[in-house]
Chains A and B, each alone.
Chain A
Amino acid sequence: MNTIEVIKNWIDKESEVLDLGCGDGEIISILSKEWGSRVLGVEINQDDINKCIQSGLNVIHQNIDEGLGNFSDNSFDVVIMSQTIQVLREPKKALQEVTRIGNESIVTIPNFGYWTTRINLLLSGKMPVTGTLPNTWHDTDNIHLCTIKDFENLCSECGINIREKCFFNKFGKESVLAKVVPNLFATTAMYKISK
Chain B
Amino acid sequence: MSDSIGKVKAQKVTLKGKFELECGQSFNDIELVYETYGVLNADATNAILICHALSGNHHAAGKYENEEKPGWWDSLIGPEKAVDTNKFFVVCPNNIGGCHGSLGPNSINHDTGDYYGPDFPIITVRDWVNSQAKLSDLLGIEKWHAVMGGSLGGMQALEWSYLYPKRIKKAGIIAAAPKLSAQNIAFNEVARQAILNDPDFEGGRYLDKSKYPKQGLKLARMVGHITYLSEEAMRSKFGRELKKEKLNFGYDAEFEIESYLRYQGDVFSESFDANTYLLMTKILDYFDPASNFEGKLVSAFESIEAQLLVVSFSTDWRFAPERSKEIVNALIEAKKNVSYLEIDSPHGHDSFLFANEDYVKGLSAFLEN
Contact = CB atoms under 8 A, between A and B. Distances in A.
Interface in B312-338: 325, 328-329, 332-333, 335, 337-338
B236 interface: no
B177 to A, nearest CB: 16
A46 B309 contact: no
Interface residues of B, number: 21
A56 interface: yes
A49 B358 CA distance: 10
B342 interface: yes
Given A40-B332, A60-B328, A60-B332, A54 B365 contact: yes
B49 to A, nearest CB: 20
A86 B195 CA distance: 57
B122 interface: no
Contact of B365 (A50, A58, A75): A50
Nearest to B333: A72
Contacts of B337: 58
A61 B361 CA distance: 14
A38 to B, nearest CB: 7
A52 B339 contact: yes
B162 interface: no
A59 B335 contact: no
Contact of A50 (B325, B332, B338, B361): B361
Contact of A61 (B307, B341, B365): B341
B339 A60 contact: yes
Contacts of A53: 309, 339, 341, 362, 365-366, 369
B369 A58 contact: no
Interface in A16-50: 16, 38, 40, 46, 49-50
B340 interface: yes
Contacts of A16: 335
Contacts of B309: 53
Contacts of B325: 70
A60 B311 CA distance: 10
A62 interface: yes
Contacts of B335: 16, 38
A182 B52 CA distance: 59
Interface residues of A, number: 22
Contacts of B339: 49, 52-53, 57-60
A137 interface: no
A61 B338 contact: no
A20 B335 CA distance: 17
Contacts of A51: 365
A135 interface: no
B369 A70 contact: no
Nearest to B340: A60
Contacts of B341: 46, 49, 53, 61
A54 B369 contact: yes
By CB atoms of chain A within 10 A, which of B328, B341, B368 has the most? B341
Contacts of B329: 70
A45 B362 CA distance: 12
A120 interface: no
Interface in A56-92: 56-62, 70-72, 75
A62 B328 CA distance: 11
A55 interface: yes
A60 B339 CA distance: 5
Given A60-B339, A70-B329, A55 B369 contact: yes
A50 B356 CA distance: 14
A57 B309 CA distance: 11
A38 B336 CA distance: 10
Given A52-B339, A58-B337, A58-B339, A71 B332 contact: yes
Given A53-B366, A56-B369, A61 B332 contact: no
B362 A50 contact: yes
Contacts of B362: 46, 49-50, 53
Ranked nearest first, the 10 interchain pairs of A and B with the lowest CB-CB distance are: A53-B365, A54-B365, A56-B369, A70-B329, A60-B340, A61-B342, A46-B358, A50-B361, A50-B365, A59-B339
Interface of B: 307, 309, 325, 328-329, 332-333, 335, 337-342, 358, 361-362, 365-366, 368-369
25 contacts: A38-B335, A40-B332, A49-B341, A49-B362, A50-B358, A53-B309, A53-B339, A53-B341, A53-B365, A53-B366, A54-B368, A54-B369, A56-B307, A58-B307, A60-B338, A60-B339, A62-B340, A70-B325, A70-B328, A70-B329, A70-B332, A71-B332, A72-B333, A75-B332, A75-B333
Given A40-B332, A46-B358, A55-B369, 15 more contacts: A16-B335, A46-B341, A49-B362, A53-B362, A54-B368, A54-B369, A56-B307, A58-B339, A60-B332, A60-B338, A60-B339, A70-B325, A70-B332, A75-B332, A75-B333
